Chains A and B, each alone.
Chain A
Amino acid sequence: MSNEIIQEHINKDYEWGFITNVESETFAPGLNENVIGALSKKKNEPEWMLEFRLKAFRHWQTLSQPSHWANFPYPKVDFQATSYYSAPKKKPELKSLDDVDPEIRKTFEKLGISLEEQKRLSGVKSNIAVDAVFDSVSVKTTFRETLSEKGIIFCSFSEAIQEHPELIKKYMGMVVPYTDNFYAALNAAVFSDGSFCYIPKGVRCPMELSTYFRINTGGTGQFERTLIVADENSYVSYLEGCTAPQRDENQLHAAVVEIIAYKNAEVKYSTVQNWYPGDKNGKGGVYNFVTKRGLCIEDNSKISWTQVETGSAITWKYPSVILKGNNSVGEFYSVAVTNNYQEADTGTKMIHIGKNTRSTIISKGISAGFSNNSYRGLVQMRKGATNARNFSQCDSLLMGDKCGAHTFPYIEIKDKTAVVEHEATTSKIGEDQLFYCKQRGIDTEKAIALIVNGYCKEILNKLPMEFAVEAQKLLAVSLEGSVG
């Protein structure tokens, strides 16, 4: 009974696995200083950018590939076999939408991402500014004019390097320096594009900003960087979505996201991650090794991460918040669903430095098939984080007896006035819960949907409406009515 719907979920094919036939210009696989030079030149980057890349690359060469913390073996990634640049051949730097390659346009239409302004996304009428990244480059950023009236800068990272070098120089690597970790160093060396967003003082961004990542070409890795700066008293809600075609090989996605929030600013970052997870036997799929971190640099700022993780063969992702300003707030809401042979290892770090800082962590894991789903997190109360407060909750739901659910919370407290609470539970859908529903005339399938929905609702409620719709679909169990 309950197994059927789980099976259905497990058997469900990856919808976004198609390949777009567009002529691409792709670098030959391999990584060395020449490749980085060529990449930088291709993008017509200034000298300082190339230097930054080379510094990161030289540092990266001194590091060894991490593998030790995982619960499972994974084949070492061969960085020389990956191509570090792939772009649709038709130059996408044109002003009008009509100039975007129709194939690419079709691709995004198919994915439900409208590149036409004032159109619909995922069947919901809305105003969303989208920066669409296709393989290594950004193909189109919508609503730029509307946004720039308010002084908001929202463009691709490459454009930002050209047009706002002073901002990039100031903020790039501020929260995630290239020395941070192996994949952050790799990203700093070879990142191809991404999004940049700056919200000026006192501006409340009138629409949701969004980046949509699509890996298309085989044998490539995607390395993008997102940088969001929210100046004093500003607000922005940012969405990120991603898909990739179905391929037998493992593709690498190693992104870096940095967020900086000034006084009274608030940034809300939501992700629906749906990279190709591999087939039923665990073949293929994207390795998603991402470094995401926010810095509440001044008082009363707030950064909130919400994520729905359903794709990728392996996910390592720990969106974190450094709570430096007094009274700053960090939040992390996550639903991670794994099935077949997927491995998700995700969680957060909340570093409390300022006084009266608060953080909330709610993580829900659902594992099915042969997958493993881990929560790994750190809550650190530094000395001087007077009256800091944290509440963490991580729950796991197991479907089937071949999957695993794990929690690895680290809690380090050095301030006596700090209060930290952590709780975790693991359970399966209770026979009694099912029985209760069935007794009331709700069939098993609907009952499971109801229970899973209830289980995740806390998180889905945090998503912007458009994403909640997509997230619902992704959970692959028909959830009840409207969420969000």
Chain B
Amino acid sequence: MILEKTQTHQRVIEQISVLNAKVDFMNDTALSNALTYLEEKGIPNNKNEEYKYCNIDSILKTDFKNIQQQFNTVSTINNLRLNDCLTLVVVNGNFSEKLSDKLVLKGVKLFSFNSLENSGKQLLTAAAKSNSDSFIALNTAFSGIGFHLKILKNEQTQIPIQILYINSASAESFVNPRNIIELEENSSATIIEHYINIGTHKVFTNFVSEKYLAQNSNLKSYTLQNETSLGYGVYTNQVKVNKHANYQNTTVTLSGRLVRNNHQVILSEDNCEASLFGLFKTSNNQLVDNHTLIDHQKPNCQSNELYKGIIGDKSTGVFNGKIFVRKDAQKTNAYQSSKNVLLSDEGCINTKPQLEIFADDVKCSHGTSTGKIDENALFYLNARGLGKESAKKLLLSAFANEVIDKIEVDSLKEIIESQII
């Protein structure tokens, strides 16, 4: 077992590193930590508690036998642009200045990893420690050229920023996109991270984003995953929230053979707030695994989670939500809910809502429910003249709308509404 584990990660490293340039924007300690960690831990299989329902090791073993890192060039993105946003483009893991809009917004700065400021260099790997997780380590070692997006002090950006991650490969490939999103004091922004695949071959996306919210800042972020059946990915978000700041994320997964979201939010000072919402609809042999961790470190913070899944065919949905309440985090208010509908006989849903509480004056609760479509509701609609299919659709969209309604960007909402059911 151990031998096989070593083999996978060594092969993957070997095959990725062939064509990758040396990552020279990463600091040396982080780099060497990353490689040591990988060497020790390898790529997790289902013996690892965190990856119990998501055996990435075996998926890499069978579906990515020969990673060749061959990509198509992408010359236009017009039909992928959201019309009410400014768009930044990342092609096959690297930031493309050519395809991106000029960021004409006041108070917004953008640095490519090749021209990072000192402050940016310090933020890189500060939240996503290279020795905390195999995929973060792998990304650190082979990071694509990402960017550092910074919203300056006291700036309220009105126009949402769309970050488009386009993968287009002409042979099995493995990409490591990475970014830093920083909100300075009293600033606010809306960000949409949109993943798509337009190539002809399988691509594994190992994404890492570090998000820093300074005092009183407010970040609304949306994630739309639509990488088709050629898309595989581990998407890691490491978020650090400071005093009185507010972080909100809505993640919608429309397609992707393997989607693993690692969303970690650290409420590092008092009176901050985080909300995580998610919606996924799976079909065929998809595996969608949402892992969230909200770490309440200081008093008077709030968190709220709602994840909904619609599982069809032979697909598997996983929700694992962890809430930590540390000793100091009195007056914490944490709420978590996961609801799932199982549509097929061969689908499978695994949930594990986990609370770990070390403070006494807290209000924490979680709830999860799984079931089929309510027969009575179906009958009610049938009796009123709705066909079976459309009645089912109506009920499912009502189920999904609870999450979709959290989306405040119209163009994004339209895409999701048109594709989810």
Contact = CB atoms under 8 A, between A and B. Distances in A.
Contacts of A403: 358, 360
B372 interface: yes
A47 interface: no
A421 B370 CA distance: 7
Contacts of B355: 396, 405-407, 424, 426
Contacts of B369: 419-422
A296 B327 CA distance: 43
B370 to A, nearest CB: 5
Contacts, number: 114
A159 B363 CA distance: 53
Interface string B343-375: 111111111111111111111111111111000
A401 B330 CA distance: 9
Contacts of B365: 423-426
Interface in B323-349: 327, 330, 340, 342-349
A128 interface: no
Interface size class of B (residues with CB under 8 A): 35 or more
Interface in A406-435: 406-428
A402 B328 CA distance: 10
A398 interface: yes
A337 B369 CA distance: 28
Nearest to A421: B369
A409 to B, nearest CB: 6
A27 to B, nearest CB: 37
A410 B345 contact: no
A71 interface: yes
A427 B360 CA distance: 7
B361 A413 contact: no
Given A401-B327, A401-B330, A428 B360 contact: yes
A398 B361 CA distance: 8
A421 B368 contact: yes
Interface residues of A, number: 35
A411 B349 CA distance: 8
A420 B354 contact: no
B123 to A, nearest CB: 32
A435 B352 CA distance: 36
A400 interface: yes
A423 B346 CA distance: 26
A404 B349 contact: no
Interface of chain A, main secondary structure? strand
Contacts of A415: 342, 345
A244 interface: no
Interface string B39-73: 00000000001000000000000000000000000
B367 A423 contact: yes
B364 A426 contact: yes
Contact of B370 (A71, A396, A408, A413): A413
Interface in A384-409: 396, 398-409
Given A413-B370, A416-B372, A426-B362, A71 B327 contact: no
Contact of B360 (A71, A399, A406, A416): A399
Contacts of A416: 342-345, 347, 372
B285 to A, nearest CB: 14
Contacts of A414: 346-348
Contacts of A396: 355, 357
A422 B361 contact: no
B358 A420 contact: no
A413 B353 contact: no
A407 B357 CA distance: 9
A383 interface: yes
Contacts of B363: 425-427
Given A415-B345, A416-B347, A422 B368 contact: yes
A423 B366 contact: yes
B357 A413 contact: no
A81 B346 CA distance: 50
Nearest to A395: B365
Nearest to B317: A413
A102 to B, nearest CB: 48
Nearest to B53: A412
A383 B345 contact: yes
B356 A71 contact: yes
B349 A413 contact: yes
Contacts of B342: 413, 415-416, 418
A401 B354 contact: no
A127 B372 CA distance: 48
Contact of A411 (B327, B347, B351, B356): B351
B353 A409 contact: yes
Nearest to B356: A406
B361 A428 contact: yes
A409 B348 contact: no
A422 B349 CA distance: 14
Nearest to A399: B360
A401 B347 CA distance: 43
A396 to B, nearest CB: 7
B354 A409 contact: yes
A426 B357 contact: yes
Identify which of A396, A399, A407 gathers the most chain B CB atoms within 10 Å of its CB. A407
Interface string B361-398: 11111111111100000000000000000000000000
B55 to A, nearest CB: 15
B170 to A, nearest CB: 38
Contacts of B372: 416-417, 419
Interface of B: 49, 327, 330, 340, 342-372
18 contacts: A383-B345, A396-B357, A402-B327, A403-B358, A407-B353, A409-B354, A410-B352, A413-B348, A415-B345, A417-B372, A418-B371, A420-B368, A421-B368, A421-B369, A422-B366, A422-B369, A423-B366, A426-B362
Closest 10 pairs (CB-CB, A-B): A398-B360, A416-B342, A425-B365, A423-B367, A419-B371, A426-B364, A411-B351, A404-B358, A406-B356, A421-B369
Given A420-B371, A426-B362, A428-B360, 7 more contacts: A383-B345, A383-B346, A401-B327, A401-B330, A403-B358, A413-B349, A426-B357
